[in-house]
Amino acid sequence: LSSLAQAGELPPDVKAALANSTYVYIASTRKDGSLSKPAEIWFMYHNGAVYVGTPPTSWRAKRIKKGRTTAKIAVGKADGPSFTATGAIVNEPDVLSVLYETYAKKYPEGWPQFEQKFRNGFKDGSRVLIKYTPKGS
């Protein structure tokens, strides 16, 4: 691991990668304690946390619901700068509006196609908002 967050403070290389990268790669904790294969996903870095929108049926969401909240977040590429985080399914309507604006700017090719799916999904529960907060090792 190139650089793991200590006490929730991200190293400069990770912060820079979060500011400039298109994707994060999230490896969530399996039942046996091992980490899953990293999954590429759209994200927003906001107020010191990484936010993703995902179906509640995704492994990352199911594992959080089961109490396995630790995840490894790699930034930019699967073996990019990484940190350990605690995931939580959150209801933060104010963050959703920032997420929509961020995704519209960050993913100009894909957003028009997926915007309604995200908006409807958060309304009808077919999508949940996960907040990953960096934690010290």
- pLDDT surpasses 60 at 67: yes
Torsion 78-84-90-92 (CA) sign: negative
pTM over 0.95: no
Name the average pLDDT for the chain. Answer: 92
- pLDDT surpasses 90 at 32: yes
Cβ atoms < 10 Å from Cβ of 114: 14
Q: How far apart are CA 113 and CA 122, in angstroms?
A: 16
Q: How deeply is 33 buried, as exposed, middle or buried, from its count of CB atoms within 10 A (0-12, 13-18, 19+)? A: exposed
pLDDT tens, residue by residue, 123-133: 999 999 999 99
Q: What is the pLDDT of residue 110?
A: 96
Q: How far apart are CA 78 and CA 39, in angstroms?
A: 8
More confident residue, 50 or 4: 50
